[in-house]
Every structure is written in structure tokens, then in C-alpha cells.
Structure 1
Amino acid sequence: MTPEDRFPGPEPHHSGRHPHQDLDVLPYGSYYEPNTPADYPGSPGDPESRPTGTDATYSGYGGARYLEQHWPVTGHATPTQPIFQAPEPPAMQTEDPPTIELGPPISEDDLRPAPQLPPIGEPGPVGPLFVVGDVHGYLDELLGALHQQGLVDADGHWSAGRARVWFLGDFTDRGPDGIGVIDLVMQLAAEAAAAGGYCRALMGNHELLFLGAHRYGDEPVQSTAGTASFRAAWLLNGGQQHDLERLQGHHISWLKRLPAIALEDGHLLLHSDTTAYLEFGDSIAEVNDAVHNLLADEGADEWWDAFRRFTKRFAFRGPGGPMAAGELLSTYGGHRVVHGHSPIPYLTGEATADTGEPPYVPGPYIYADELAVAMDGGVTMEGRLLVARLPVD
């Protein structure tokens, strides 16, 4: 019996066939990935040489763990109190699948209201914590995944009481209804707050790209690949004209206020699997302030540079991955990095197999000596849109 037989995942909900989409690219075909030696096992240049043993760093199968069984959280972290510690080497596993199972949906106990809500500004009981991977305009898939976890009802309204939900960014581009996704997340944020929970979101590199395409259009920007424009890069990366035409002022204001990084229950939440966040500040507040100030005051070249930095990826893959993840955790706090941005089929090497079959993504992927968890299930390449419950104290 395979691990998938023991822990079958729910069938993904689809709005139709998804066109294959490669990784984000900048004009002239350059996409941001660390230069990995061609003979490094598991590198894009050598997909067939990936080891199948227990190496937790760059084996497609090494280091995977089941979330609820093997991901204890010992306390709430703050940016000024990092709780990262180097892990012990993982024990030998005879069956070590590449993914971890999705957490349980909302239960009746989770929905039971507190006897009395605490005064405003005072902490009160918190509900379970969920994270949502890259959506990229696939509104039907999002509604299906949220409903499956008990977070919304059949009409798409918040039904999770005091639960907490974080979206990891990339709402638009490639899929059919990016503005519909933004409208839904904004709606859920209001409904969750009224129920004593919350629904929040991070800024992804596609939010920067989408806003840049709206604000700067075809205005030239200085790129390391040559002169480019936000609109050219946006179209190259799946920009949908109908999303741009439906973008309104309240969408822009909401998107520009999104944080770039957050910390919840010891989980360091990012959009991109990159260490570029360290270039914006030494604390979560500094990083978020720097991004917000840039979007408020700076020009096209500065916006472009931020987009370029947050489009980098694969920092936690390979021999240096645990060190890169550890540097972020030591700086900002937390036990593990939880990110979107890089589709799991690329991290595991399945995307390079070219079998003609949709990638199999049963759940989030944990790697880099168990310091990083990937949440982009590859919905744009007929994978799945992931919604996972994280453990809480």
C-alpha cells in the first residue's frame, strides 16, 4: 500500500483545462533561479539524476513529513524573539513521500463561539490557522478548496467562525478571473472580522507586476536583461486584459497595503522562496514598511527592482537551502518558512518529466531539512490549489 492510499487527498475542483504555464520570466526569457551546477542531483539540468533516498535537501522524496504528526509548534514567536534552532538530522525513513497531507477541515468545536468576545485590543481565543497557496485567477478552484475545508459555505461566504486564514499572494494572471479572486478575498476579510476570525493576505510578485502594469504600462524601465516595461512583463507572465480593465481604485488601495511577510504561530509566511526579503529590512515591520513606502513614493525603476527581487526563487532548494531558510528564520523568527511562488512540481522535479499527465500534488511539500514548506500546488499547470491547516498551540 502506498502512502497515497493511506492518506488520499480530496479530488481537486477544476474550472476547465488549464494551459501549461512555465515559471515567471522577465523580458528576453531570463527567469530568476540560483545558478545550480549542472551535475547537482535534482537540478533542472539533470532531472534524471535525483537521488531517491533520504537526503532531505535535494531529493524529491527526502525530508517530507506528515503535517499534523510531525510538525509540533512550541510557542508563539515575535519578530524580536526568533525561535529558529538548527534541527537534528532526520531519521531514516523507509517510506517517505514527497508531500504532507492536508490538515483537517473546520470542525464543530472550531466553530463553537467563545462565551464572550474580549474587549477590542485585548487578545482572546483564536481559531485554527489556514494558509492558501497561489490562486492566479482560478476563482472556481479557490471556492471549491475553501468550501472543502469548511471555510466558506455553499454560497461562498465565511463559515469558519474564529478561524484565521492567510493567503500567500498571487491572486491574478494566467487564470480566468483575477479580479473575482480579489473581490472574494476582500469580502471574506470583512465577513471573518465580523465573526471574530480574520482573513488576511500577503503581497506576491504578481501583485507588484499587476499594479506596475496598471500604473506604468509601457513606460520603459531599466532591466538587467535590457529595456523592458511592466506591461510587457505582465503579458509575458499571463496578464489578462479583462482583469486590468476591471481593476478599480478600492482594489488598488487594498493591494498596495498588503504586507510582504508575516509571522503566525511560529510559521514565517512569505510569498516567494527567496532571501531577497533580507534586502528590505531586519525585522518584519521594516520589510513591510519598506515595500509600502516604495509603492507609495518611488518610481518605475524602483518598482521594477522590487518585482525583480521578489521574482527570484528556489533559495531553499539544494545544498544551501537549509542555511538560506535558517537565515530568514533567525532574522524574522519562526520555526519554518511557509511560501508559495514556486510550484511544487518544479521543486520535486516532476514538472521536468514531460509525461503528458497532470502533476500529482496531494498536499503541501516540506523540504530543506524540514525548514521550508511549499504551498503552490501548480493550479496553473493542472495541479491543484492548496488550502492547508497549520498546527496551533
Structure 2
Amino acid sequence: MTPEDRFPGPEPHHSGRHPHQDLDVLPYGSYYEPNPPADQPGSPAEPEGLPGGSGATYSGYGGANYLEQHWPVAGHPTPVAGTALPVFLAAQPPAPAHDDDPPTIELGPPISEDDLRPAPQLGDPGPVGPLYVVGDVHGYLEELIAALHQQGLVDADGHWTAGRARVWFLGDFTDRGPDGIGVIDLVMQLAAEAAAAGGYCRALMGNHELLFLGAHRYGDEPVQSTAGTASFRAAWLLNGGQQHDLERLQGHHISWLKRLPAMALEDGHLLLHSDTTAYLEFGDSIAEVNDAVHELLADEGADEWWDAFRRFTKRFAFRGPSGPMAAGELLGTYGGHRVVHGHSPIPYLTGEATSDSGEPPYVPGPYIYADELAVAMDGGVTMEGKLLVARLPVD
């Protein structure tokens, strides 16, 4: 089967689900299609070089309004002519006319050891709340609110109700589904509401965030792909890009997306978007990887953006006999005892996607594999699977 047979072109927008999950595609056939499990008769060998890199990072940024209200401003405000100065800057009374007796300050009692002890901390925030992760959303806003509500994280209208809980989105907010911008707006809103409640809601950058930003910034500008000349817009459309999302993309969305980290470590869980080892190509620590991605998005050109997208689109590094070794390499470099990722739908990892029954794939929950070193969180919502929200650790 040729790439053109499987991927004839972008599908028109509709509000329903796509009947089949298309894995991410690079133009001219440079795409990754999973093989059935190796123990099935006639299974082809794993393509050489298929396992790639994957990663996810820390993001503490809330919505645009929250940033404007709470972001600290360096320095003191500059007084405007004709306005009253603050009390501490107001003019002091004139000095006495005579200075034969300079003013003195009465000394207090000697300082005791009790005075040197640190003051008690006020408003101790107490223990942190439980940790949750959210798999790939791909524009399915209604399904996302329903899944968060089922876990008690939001109310029926999508407002934070989880107090000091911690939530990490693993990336891929847009493309394929009906309302990618609505999903981004919700995550930004929840970041602000969670912070006000003493918890937090953070997100990682997925390969579709890179693709979406690239389509906006570079459009049809040619980039040098490994399979020939391509463009971000062509790849975005091929991977389910929705024109109405691009039309609704605003400056505050772009600023927020470009700040997302690539990976993070929480409670011993190494959080990534992609099941690939490509993160190792960006740095030897979580901070180095995140800084490298942010610097690339701030300064580099279309070809560098494309190369990053290509690397983070790789998948299946933790599947098969070499999977535990690949997961262990990431854990040994960045810390933690288990990788938690999105990106590759669980039905492809388990072989459910190749079923001929015509029934929707069965996804009971997160998929633990690679000798229990990896947890997959993409439930395949775009192929009538499930949008997964899970509390960590999972057993």
C-alpha cells in the first residue's frame, strides 16, 4: 500500500469523529505505520531506525488575562507628571534650621537570641494535591470537558474544581478534531483557575504544536525534508489541520504555545509527548532540552523548525524487545522511574487498530508496557477510542 493510498489528502472539517486514526505523516511517504506485534505470524520486522525520541516539559503559564494580572513587573513604577507620589516617595519635612544638636534616635533593648530566630511561615500551603495526566486531545473539546469532569477536576461547564490537584496535559491540542483553539483556551483558563485555588494545570509541547505554529509562521515556504521539498502548511493539512483553527489563532495563543516545555519530571514520572528518544538530541538535562526548544522557536528558521518537528514526530521507541532499553536510557539521563507519554495511540501499540471487526478499539485506560517502564496515554479519541485522563501512579 502506497502512502497515497492511505493518505489521499486532508479531510474536510466536520464535527464528528474520523473513522480511522491517521498517524502523523511527513510528505512524500516519509511516515510511520506500526507493524502488528512481533509474535503474530507473518509480522514484518521492525523498520530500522523507527524508534525515535520523545519528551515533555514544564509549563507554568496561565491564560493571557492571568499573565497580564499576575506577571511581576520589574522595578518601581515611574511617576507621571502631575500625579501624587506614593507616601514613601513624598517630600520629607525640611531639616531644622539649627544643627548644633543633630537629631538622635532612641536605642531599643539589646537584641536577644529569640529575636534572631526565623519568623514562622505564614499561610503554609500544606501538602500538594494528587497528580493527573491528560492524553492527546486533538480538538475534541466536549470529550475533554467530560473526561475532566468525570475525574472531578472541573465542573460541568469546564471550570476548575480540583483545589490543590496537579494536572499535566501531554500535548497535541489541535488538528483532526472540531475545536483546537477551544481546547487551548480551556487549558489556559484552567491554568489560571488552578493557580488561584492552590493547584496547577500545566502542559507540554507536542509535535502538533510545532506543526501548528510552523503552519502559521512559515505557511507554504519550502523546507528541506528528508524526502524532498515540503512545507509546513502542506504537512499540517495532511495531518488533520483545520483551517478554522488557524483563522482563530491569536497572539496570546502563540506566546503561550511557544513557552510550553518539552518534558517534565513529576513524582518520579518523566512526562513526554512523544514515545521517542529524540529528546536526547536536544540536551542532557530537562532544563537543557526545554531551553533548546525555546531558543529554536525564538530564533531559528523554517528548516530548523522542520527538523525539530521531524524528530518529535518519531514514535514506538519503547515498543518491542528494545523498548525497555530505550525507556531506561531516557530515565537514566533525565531522572524518574517511569516514562509517561502521549503521541502514539494505544490501539496501535496493542494491535487493536488492525482489527477487522469494524468495532471501535477497546481502550480501558492507560497502557503500561516496556517492562512497566512506560505508560501510554493517547487513547485514540480520533479513532473512536477514548480521551484519557488518569491519576498517577497507574497500576
State the distance in 2 between where 1:214 and 1:330 align.
36
Distance 1:355 1:238, change over 3 A: same
List alignment gaps of at least 5 residues for structure 2. 80-85
Moved more, 249-258 or 27-36: 27-36
CA contact (8 A) 1:106 1:151 kept: no
Corresponding residue SS for 2:31: coil
Choose 1 or 2 for highest CA Rg.
Answer: 2
Q: CA deviation at 1:98?
A: 82
Distance 1:64 1:202, change over 3 A: closer
Q: Name the TM-score, length of structure 2 as normaliser.
A: 0.75
> Percent same amino acid among aligned pairs?
91
Q: Name the TM-score, length of structure 1 as normaliser.
A: 0.75
Tell me the equivalent position of 1:385: 387
State the distance in 1 between where 2:101 and 2:362 align.
16
CA contact (8 A) 1:56 1:368 kept: no
CA contact (8 A) 2:54 2:278 kept: no
Residues paired across the two proteins, number? 388
CA contact (8 A) 1:98 1:348 kept: no
CA contact (8 A) 2:54 2:312 kept: no
Corresponding residue SS for 1:47: coil
Corresponding residue SS for 2:191: helix
CA contact (8 A) 2:131 2:391 kept: yes
CA contact (8 A) 1:63 1:366 kept: no
Please list the CA deviations of residues 184-217 of structure 1 after superposition, one character each: whole Å capped at 9, or x if unmatched: 0000000000000000000000000000000000
Distance 1:44 1:84, change over 3 A: farther
CA contact (8 A) 2:224 2:303 kept: yes
Matches within 5 A, 1:245-284: 245-284=247-286
State the distance in 2 between where 1:256 and 1:57 align.
12
Correspondent of 1:298 among 297, 300, 303: 300
Q: CA deviation at 1:352?
A: 1.2
Q: CA deviation at 1:31?
A: 1.2
Distance 1:335 1:53, change over 3 A: closer
Q: CA deviation at 1:230?
A: 0.2
CA contact (8 A) 1:278 1:328 kept: yes
Runs of 4+ in structure 1 displaced over 2 angstroms? 1-19, 32-79, 82-117, 121-124
**1:355 equivalent in alignment to 2:363:** no
Please list the CA deviations of residues 250-270 of structure 1 after superposition, one character each: whole Å capped at 9, or x if unmatched: 000000000000000000000
State the distance in 2 between where 1:36 and 1:87 align.
80
Moved more, 62-71 or 285-294: 62-71
Distance 1:17 1:356, change over 3 A: same
Corresponding residue SS for 1:388: strand
CA contact (8 A) 2:55 2:276 kept: no
Please list the CA deviations of residues 252-306 of structure 1 after superposition, one character each: whole Å capped at 9, or x if unmatched: 0000000000000000000000000000000000000000000000000000000
Distance 1:370 1:84, change over 3 A: farther
CA contact (8 A) 2:4 2:29 kept: no
Q: CA deviation at 1:226?
A: 0.6
CA contact (8 A) 1:52 1:62 kept: no
Corresponding residue SS for 1:35: coil
Distance 1:89 1:124, change over 3 A: farther
Distance 1:109 1:195, change over 3 A: farther
Q: CA deviation at 1:21?
A: 2.6
CA contact (8 A) 2:145 2:158 kept: yes
CA contact (8 A) 1:268 1:338 kept: yes
